[in-house]
Amino acid sequence: MKLTREAMLGLSWAVAWLALPAGSPRCAEINFDGPVSGYQGEFQLFPKGKQRPKMEEDTAYLRNGDRLSGVVEGISGGFLALRSELLTEALRIPLGNVRRVLLKDKERSAFEGKARAIFARGDRLRINVKGYDGEELLAETAFSEEVRISKEHLSGILFRHEPRVIYKADFEEGGLCGFEAVGGTWHVQNGKLAPTSGDHPSPRRARLKVHQEGHLRYEWEVSAGPGLPIQARFFLFAQGPNPDMPGNAYWVQVSGRALYLYRAIQNNTQHVASVSLSSNKSARRFEVDYDSRSGTIRVSADGEQVIAGLFSSPIPYGEYIIVSAQRTEGFDNVVVRQVADALLPPAGEGGDEEELVCLVNGDRLTGEVILISEGNVRIKTGYASEPLDVSMEELSSLRFGGETKSEDRELATIGFRNGDQLSGEIINLEEGRLRFGSPYLGDTEIDANDVSGVLFPGETELSDVGSAKGGGGDLRQSPPSEVIRSGFGFPVPVFTH
């Protein structure tokens, strides 16, 4: 085979890219707008920007470290066919030499699904639940209006809901809206919660008692006087009421253009990450998204995500939110939302054989799910004389009882553009359709436009990341949204609202 001049130039760039030391940022994978620093012990800092590099072409990653880009023309007979403009003829690569394939960015299917089925091996699939008879789940998927899934393959179901507001204050009425001063005198003026100037040494603090557990999203605005830099902090998941000794807590601190993320473990402060913001403003809006079961945290400033990462030992719950001002900074539009579909049953609750149903309002029912029909779930409990009927609209998650059946053989893992993933045996890829044998769904054919990539058997990156970060197929632990980052090179969220 002959290489064109353009191919030789491309290979020279590829060699330079591969020659970088392990862990070095590569421009094709990391999109930093500015320097972000953080420690690499308990916290894994995620690259800033897009979830994965923009794929202008299909790309095959080989087991020997080579990378080839072009157009994947098909998979059949144990070979991957790839055509590149830089090569004079198409390549036929034995699948045994292929680690993974990422497919060119395309528009995904319009199908969203109101729920997600969770299987063994960490697999997950968006569905619309149509029925359940105690043995089989009847569901609609992106590739079939009706599929039947045996209960023995299911760990459970996550039901999709909009986040529920558990606290909201715009301070327009003049009261402190539940906040209590713990340093200085606090008041509401011009629709902002702020400390009184000069009555107490800095910093001045106020706290709000609110239970925090699971997946929460926080929003707040903070402003300083005209021309003054902001000097303020916002504590979340604080387990104690004393801001000087909060026990365990996270907090976001802004000092002019500098933004810091800290956490305290048994009152010992740890710097997590920091970033320099684009400009020095006297008013800003912040957001924090934190899932206490997966350990994932994301911090945004003025609508732009600036810090994101994963704690290997996350703080599981908190009782207080604390705001802190260096001078007379004012806080406004404080909102806390509970993401219902992250309220997964923790390990050990409900028993291994019993099924566990979690509701949006936090209630939990144990027993046996005997029927799902016409939008209702029927649960037989050990304490009610008659089965209980609950609307699916009120459900957050369902964990099935008993041991989930898992395949021992090595299978490929298929990543979907909506964040789903399924294990299976690749049969072929022809004329825009991917056909594979699924242990849950049988012989399945899907539109290749919905597929973002394939991780072939023999690779251990996927399972290694899942076990290290507490993910996988166990519904009793919320799988981190970045669980397949090293397998496919991009994170997949559980749900996106």
- Which two tokens mark 70? 């072009």
Where do the DSSP E strands lie in 339-491? 355-359, 364-373, 376-380, 388-391, 395-399, 412-416, 421-430, 433-438, 442-447, 451-455
- Which two tokens mark 140? 């609609």
Range in 28-37, 185-194, 239-248 with the lowest mean pLDDT: 28-37
pLDDT band with cut points at 50, 70 and 90 for residue 27: very low
Residue 346 has pLDDT above 70, yes or no: no
CB neighbours of 204 closer than 8 A, spacing ≥ 6?
181, 183, 184, 186, 195, 324, 325, 326
Determine the average pLDDT of the residues in 336-364.
67
- Which two tokens mark 374? 């016409």
- Which two tokens mark 233? 């902090």
Please return the burial class of 397, using the count of CB atoms within 10 Å of its CB with bins 0-12, 13-18 and 19+.
buried
CB neighbours of 437 closer than 8 A, spacing ≥ 6?
424, 425, 427, 443, 444
Rg (C-alpha) for the chain, rounded Å, is 25
Residue 272 has pLDDT above 60, yes or no: yes
Return d(Cα 168, Cα 217) in angstroms, integer: 12
Of the candidates 234, 243, 228, 236, the residue with the CA atom closest to the CA atom of residue 197: 228
| Cβ contact 52:487 at 8 Å | no
- Taking all residues of the chain, what is their mean pLDDT, rounded to a whole number? 78
| Cβ contact 325:231 at 8 Å | yes
- Which two tokens mark 481? 């949204």
Please return the burial class of 432, using the count of CB atoms within 10 Å of its CB with bins 0-12, 13-18 and 19+.
exposed
| Cβ contact 166:210 at 8 Å | yes
For residues 333 and 460, the model is more confident at 333
Per the listing, tokens 């149509």 go with: 130
Of the candidates 132, 175, 182, the residue with the CA atom closest to the CA atom of residue 156: 132
Backbone angles phi, psi at 110, to 5 degrees: -75, -10
Return d(Cα 92, Cα 83) in angstroms, integer: 9
What is the share, in percent, of the chain residues with pLDDT greater than 90? Answer: 40
pLDDT band with cut points at 50, 70 and 90 for residue 36: low
Per the listing, tokens 């046996």 go with: 368
pTM for this structure?
A: 0.60
| Cβ contact 205:324 at 8 Å | yes
Residue 463 has pLDDT above 90, yes or no: no
Q: Which of helix, strand or coil describes residue 143?
A: coil
pLDDT band with cut points at 50, 70 and 90 for residue 124: confident
The per-residue pLDDT for 328 is 86
| Cβ contact 471:485 at 8 Å | no
Return d(Cα 289, Cα 270) in angstroms, integer: 19
Determine the average pLDDT of the residues in 272-288.
92
Determine the average pLDDT of the residues in 275-294.
90
Kindly list the distances between the CA atom of residue 419 and the CA atoms of 256, 416, 488, in Å, as whole numbers in the listed order: 37, 5, 11
pLDDT band with cut points at 50, 70 and 90 for residue 13: very low
Could you give the count of Cα atoms lying within 13 Å of 184 in the half-sphere of its Cβ?
Answer: 24
Return d(Cα 66, Cα 58) in angstroms, integer: 14
| Cβ contact 251:233 at 8 Å | yes
Range in 78-92, 212-226, 414-428, 453-467 with the lowest mean pLDDT: 453-467
**Structural domains for the chain:** 5-109+406-488 (no CATH), 129-159+353-399 (2.30.30), 164-338 (2.60.120.560)
The per-residue pLDDT for 202 is 75
Of the candidates 323, 59, 303, 293, the residue with the CA atom closest to the CA atom of residue 195: 323
Residue 354 has pLDDT above 90, yes or no: no
Quick: pLDDT tens for 390-448. Answer: 998 888 888 888 777 766 678 899 988 887 889 999 999 998 899 999 998 999 999 88
Kindly list the distances between the CA atom of residue 344 and the CA atoms of 215, 422, 487, in Å, as whole numbers in the listed order: 10, 21, 24
Could you give the count of Cα atoms lying within 13 Å of 100 in the half-sphere of its Cβ?
Answer: 21
The per-residue pLDDT for 55 is 59
Strand partners, 437: 425, 443
